């Protein structure tokens, strides 16, 4: 089994099958990065309103970017078994995909003993939820989907990119 393949054992369960926080105290501190995405599907008119800042609640993408960054910083408070992490950097980007989709990408970087996958996923999710909240008055049929990890670097399992079948070199 390569380092990038999961062991099949759930590390958040103790010997009796009870939930537990994983001990990371003995792991080395390494540079880590995770990138995640989410996609909002909406009416074409909603995407137009977002892009020309024509919604009554204001600058949708600016507010959603700040919400995503804040969410990444608070992931340890939201997900019960996540460690609270000190993040070095968080970025949230928006990629309009006309006529009716908005792709959101969040990237998180840190130096730590555990990865930032959950922080990136939470950032992308909360940014998407914020867009929904700010646009729901004009489009209640929006959907949020395809929330997924795109890439991670650092730690024992090295560099992983969605869609690749083997571990990639981080050189």
Domain that holds residue 54: 30-154
Per the residue annotation, which of 14, 88, 100, 133 is the catalytic one?
133
Q: How far is residue 73's CA from residue 48's CA, in Å, rounded to a whole number?
A: 30
Residue 168, pLDDT above cutoff 50: no
- What is this structure's pTM? 0.85
Cα 21 from Cα 83, distance rounded (Å): 8
> Per-residue pLDDT for 84 more than 80?
yes
**161 assigned to some structural domain:** no
Neighbours of 132 (CB within 10 A): 18
Report the pLDDT value the prediction gives residue 12, as an integer from 0 to 100. 62
pLDDT at 160 over 90: yes
| Beta strand 89-97 pairing with 143-153 | unpaired
Residue 4 belongs to some domain of the structure:
no
Q: Does 169 have pLDDT greater than 50?
A: no
- 94 found inside a domain: yes
Our CA angle for 122, 125, 128, nearest 5°, is 150
Q: For residue 135, is it within any domain? A: yes
On whether residue 150 sits in a domain, the answer given is yes
Put residue 17 in one of left, alpha, beta given phi > 0 → left and psi -120 to 50 → alpha.
left
- Supply the CATH number for residue 41's domain: 3.30.70.640
In a domain, 98, yes or no: yes
Is residue 111 included in any domain, yes or no? yes
Note if 139 is an active site residue. Answer: no
Total domains present in the chain: 1
């Amino acid at each position: 089994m390569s380092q990038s393949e999961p062991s099949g054992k759930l590390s958040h369960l103790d010997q009796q099958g009870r939930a537990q926080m994983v001990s990371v105290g003995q792991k080395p501190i390494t540079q880590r990065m995770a990138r995640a995405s989410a996609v909002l599907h909406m009416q074409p008119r909603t995407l137009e309103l977002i892009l020309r800042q024509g919604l009554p609640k204001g600058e949708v993408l600016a507010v959603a970017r700040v919400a995503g960054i804040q969410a990444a910083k608070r992931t340890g408070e939201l997900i019960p078994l996540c460690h609270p992490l000190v993040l070095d950097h968080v970025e949230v980007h928006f990629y309009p995909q006309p006529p009716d989709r908005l792709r959101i990408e969040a990237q998180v970087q840190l130096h730590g003993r555990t990865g930032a996958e959950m922080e990136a996923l939470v950032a992308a999710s909360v940014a998407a939820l914020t867009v929904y909240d700010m646009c729901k008055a004009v489009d209640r049929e929006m959907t949020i989907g395809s929330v997924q990890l795109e890439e991670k670097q650092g730690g024992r399992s090295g560099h992983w990119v969605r869609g690749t079948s083997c571990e990639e070199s981080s050189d």
